[in-house]
Structure 1
Amino acid sequence: MNNKEFTTELSQRLGTSSKETAQTIESLLSELVEELQNGKSVTIQGFGSFEVKKKAERISVNPTTKERMLVPPKLVLSYKPSNILKEKFK
């Protein structure tokens, strides 16, 4: 399902126009991204939680050349599904 199909399906379920639904989804995602950029975690009840985690720097070895390289630290997005969602896929 792509973004257009999702927006159309959701607008039909909510009984709103596709444009209004698209604006709502855009606002939701914008707020989600803003909170994550501020270092906060976001929990959506019944769906799961999103969190930004810091990966430490590490040494990596190229298997072909055996060259050792330093991989710098970076931030990664982590998602943990809720127990309710996990139960639906057992």
Structure 2
Amino acid sequence: MTKAEVIVEISQKTGIDKADVSASLEGFFAVVKNSLATGENVYIRGFGSFVVKHRKEKVGRIISRNQPIVIPEHYVPSFKPAKVFVEKVKTADIKVS
């Protein structure tokens, strides 16, 4: 499902104009990105948590040249779904096409 499809579905279910739904969704994404960029986690009860994870410095390898490189410490965004979210997906009757 794409972002456009999500917008259409929310618009149909709520009766809110697609432009308003799109603006709200873009606003939500901006808040999450800005919060994570400042090191602040975002917790949404019943859905999950957007968190920042710290990765330590490590030595990697360029396989084609067999040359080691140092990967500096850095932060990466991560999503951890809530238990009710995981349970709903586990018990869903999913048909993959």
- Normalising by the residue count of structure 2, what TM-score does the alignment of the two structures yield? 0.83
1:46-85: CA deviations, max 9, x gaps? Answer: 1110111121110123445432221111211111110001
Which AA in structure 2 matches 1:29? Answer: F
Aligned-partner Cα distance in 2 for 1:68–1:89: 41
SS in 2 for 1:78: strand
Which AA in structure 2 matches 1:77? Answer: P
How well do the aligned residues superpose, as a CA RMSD in angstroms?
1.4
Question: Counterpart of 1:32?
Answer: 32
Question: Counterpart of 1:74?
Answer: 74
Which AA in structure 1 matches 2:16? Answer: T
C-alpha change, 1:62 and 1:34, in structure 2 (3 Å) is closer
Question: Counterpart of 2:59?
Answer: 59
Q: Tell me the percent identity.
A: 30
Offset at residue 45 of structure 1 (A)? 1.1
C-alpha change, 1:58 and 1:12, in structure 2 (3 Å) is same
Which AA in structure 2 matches 1:3? Answer: K
Question: Unaligned stretches of 5+ in structure 1?
Answer: none
Count of residue pairs brought into register by the alignment: 90
Question: Unaligned stretches of 5+ in structure 2?
Answer: 91-97
